[in-house]
Structure 1
Amino acid sequence: MVARMLLLPLFVALMVPVCSGAVWAQSAADTTRIEYRLLRQQENWRSLKDDDRGWAALKAVPVGGGASTVLTVGGEARTYVHNWRHEQWGRLSAHDTYTLQRLMLHGDVSSRLIGKQLGLRAFVQLKSGFVAGRDGPVFSTSKDRLGINQSFLEEQWSSGPERAVTLRAGRVDAFLAQASTTRPGVFDNDRKTGRTLWGMHMTRQGADGQISPYYFGTTRDIAPTDPTLRSTRHTFGMRGSSGQCRR
């Protein structure tokens, strides 16, 4: 069972996934193949906790003198080169070449308690964006000196090894989100209260297939068809699969 609260660059979201029969076993988690992921929070470096060679010492640092709590530190740098010719039909510079620099730094602390059936985790990822050589206007999402790209707290527990081979009863995900404004300063991004998205998605696995009902709701303070009205919409749906044929 997992409870997670997320803070994203474009969305401030509260997500509460719940699933029965999930197991956080030592053998399963620590033998996960080590690889870099586009979403860094999906990486698992716990198997390096006893390796102190080179960069491996930063990927799984024991905290508190034991192996139950591990700190992972990581980061990345990306450089993009953009070239515009006759931007906005020639109203701006006829030839504009500039670079975008993105820097990311993250820390991940995970701990296992109560016979390794209870897991606690905290993840924080910072971002920094710069623009160099731009003649035309700088887009608001291109420049951000320092901000939080994402952060969340996660709690995970298992029902014991006897549940590891049982059929999963189902999974429920609930979320609440609002858009965020990117500003050029330090930790000055703010959420937009004019639009809100929420919903719930359930997946139930049976012997003959899978069924996934869902619900999404949205509100907008200014309706797209009439700026004097408030817009609220509700969407219900269902997906399913039977045997080997899925839709």
Structure 2
Amino acid sequence: MLALLVVGLLVGGHAQAQAPQKPSSPPPFKVLRAEEDYRYLRAPDAPRAPLDGLKYLPLTESGSVFLSLGGDLRQRVEYYRHPDWAETPAADGAWLQRYMLHGDVWLWNLARAFFQLKSGWTLGREGGPGPTDEDRLDVHQAFVELRPWERADEGLQVRLGRQELQFGSARLISVREGPNVRRTFDGARTRLRFHRWDLSAFVVRPVATEPGVFDDGPVRSQGFWGLYAVHPLPVLPGGNVDLYYLGFSNSQARYAQGEGREQRHSLGTRWWGTSGRWDYNLEAVLQVGRFSGAPLLAWTVASDTGFTLEHLPLSPRLGVMADIASGDPDAEAPSLGTFNPLFPRGSYFGEIALLGPYNFIDLHPVLRLYPSRSLALSAEWTGFWRQSVEDGVYGPSGMLVRPPGGSRSRWVGHQVNLTADWELGRYVHVYATASRFFAGTFLQQTGSSRDVDLLQAEVSVRF
């Protein structure tokens, strides 16, 4: 991170930071709200949406120092039948509430301070809220950001404090948007954009989600650091490449093999973009390190390829995802082969969220239809297999949910998802899904194996 800071200062010289260019229309809200930039509203003729008065509140006569306010509200109801494949409870319903408010103070074009509160509540859950269901009131983000150099699409940012991180396809680093409480980190990040490169370096600790009031804190047993670079591919129009290194340590790691100290180094690349009607997203990761003093070697390969028929009614997109992540080949050997997805998106295989991306093979065809620009309808099927029969299956959080003993079958099961995703103007988003997971041979031979149903609907408001 220090190296990026030095390089940025050298290339920046005495160039002054400057505001972004004025857009032609109000930009959409981002998943990472701290990445929004409303300095363009300083211009009297800038495009404005109805609530943009909250986005630019001048604190000085010149308007160079200003406050920007915003928020996210999400209401979700969900109904599970036989959650976690269990006989009891036969059904489980819940009402999940998420409230997030933030303030962003810009100091000329050279620095900013961002502060965000969160409140997550869950009512009606059988057995009480889950680990990511509830956080009654806490600081979600609180950081200062220095911008010593900025020019057009280039610049340097140094961010210190509690912050969200998300890179690439959110396979390894995500804000965990699906669950009720999002993920955040404590630490430092530097970002340098220069000559079409987008380079980030960070050193952080994940923040634990606690259910009380102002009781979240860093997970002392874990450390996370890395370098992430993105660059267009000049030989492939519309293409881009990501290159990254991610380091992770955990003194309390748990796998089917047992518990111990883990240090893992991930080297990865992602090739993604569009070419005509085709879109593609290919990623490969190799992990090395040590677990309980023994060698560690794991890997994953993931793909998401689609073809959009824009000339047909509903502009259908036909796509297929195919992924594989290594499992431990021998639970009795001291070495470990289970892939660790680090901090992936919470609903990795859909909102039903029964399985996590550990020791798996999946095939996932998708049909998506667009009745309008604001409405997307999807039908998906996903089949799951174990990559190694010597390893178990894991949940989205990495917890072992079914040990490997008792079955030599790879077939875990398959699920069907139907979803509707509707943007009602600039501020309101409606989402609904219906899913069923059909338990396969491995689950049937190792414990409870009832098919699982999920019905879910949510309304989100952003401003």
Q: TM-score, normalization: structure 2?
A: 0.40
Partner of 1:221: helix, strand, or coil? strand
What amino acid is aligned across from residue 45 of structure 1 in structure 2? Answer: Y
2:246 pairs with 1:216: yes
| CA shift in 2, pair 1:152/1:159, >3 Å | closer
Q: How many residues are paired up?
A: 221
**Secondary structure in 2 matching 1:41:** helix
Once the two structures are superposed, residues 2-40 of structure 1 have per-residue CA deviations (whole angstroms, 9 ceiling, x without a partner) of 99xxxxxxxxxxx979755698434x3444742322222
Specify whether residues 152 and 139 from structure 1 end up closer, same or farther in structure 2 by C-alpha distance, changes over 3 A only: same
Cα offsets for 1:199-246 (capped at 9, x unmatched): 22345789879886532222221455564x5332334456789xx9x9
In 2, Cα distance between the equivalents of 1:17 and 1:172?
Answer: 13
Asked whether 1:231 is paired with 2:262, we answer yes
Q: How does 1:27-46 map to 2 (within 5 A)?
A: 28-31=20-23, 33-34=25-26, 35-46=28-39
SS in 1 for 2:29: coil
Report the equivalent of 2:116: 125
Q: Identity rate of aligned residues, in percent?
A: 31
**RMSD (Å) for aligned C-alpha atoms:** 4.1
- 1:182 CA drift (Å): 1.1
In structure 2, distance between residues paired with 1:45 and 1:159: 15
Q: Is the 8 A contact 1:18 1:171 kept in 2?
A: no
Give the Cα separation in 2 of the matches to 1:153 and 1:18.
20
* Residue of structure 1 in register with 2:332 after alignment: none
| Partner secondary structure for residue 57 of structure 1 | helix
In structure 1, the residue matched to 2:87 is: 90
Q: Distance in 2 between matches of 1:211 and 1:83?
A: 40
Cα gap change, 1:17 to 1:42, in 2 (>3 Å): farther
- Change in Cα spacing, 1:18 to 1:134, as seen in structure 2 (3 Å) is farther
For normalisation by structure 1, the TM-score amounts to 0.70
Name the aligned partner's letter for residue 128 of structure 1: S
| Deviation string, structure 1 residues 91-137 (Cα, Å, up to 9, x no partner) | 22x3332210101101011122xxxxx52111111110111233333
For residues 192 and 134 of structure 1, what CA distance do their matches in structure 2 show?
26
Q: Secondary structure at the match of 1:181?
A: coil
C-alpha distance 197-160 of structure 1, shift in aligned 2 (>3 A): closer
CA contact 1:144–1:185 (8 Å) conserved in 2: yes
Q: Structure 1 residue 147 and structure 2 residue 174: aligned?
A: no
Task: Specify which structure has the bigger relative contact order, considering alpha-carbon pairs within 8 angstroms and separated by 6 or more residues.
Answer: 1
1:136 corresponds in structure 2 to 127
Which position in structure 2 is the counterpart of 1:174?
A: 201
| Post-superposition CA distance 1:52-89 (Å, at most 9, x none) | 99633222000133310111111121100011223452
Q: Quick one: distance in 2 between partners of 1:220 and 1:236?
A: 18
Partner of 2:76: 80
Write the distance in 2 (CA, Å) between the matches of 1:180 and 1:159: 30
Q: What runs of 5+ residues in structure 2 fail to find an aligned partner?
A: 156-193, 276-280, 283-463
Q: Which runs of 5+ in 1 are unaligned?
A: 4-14, 113-117
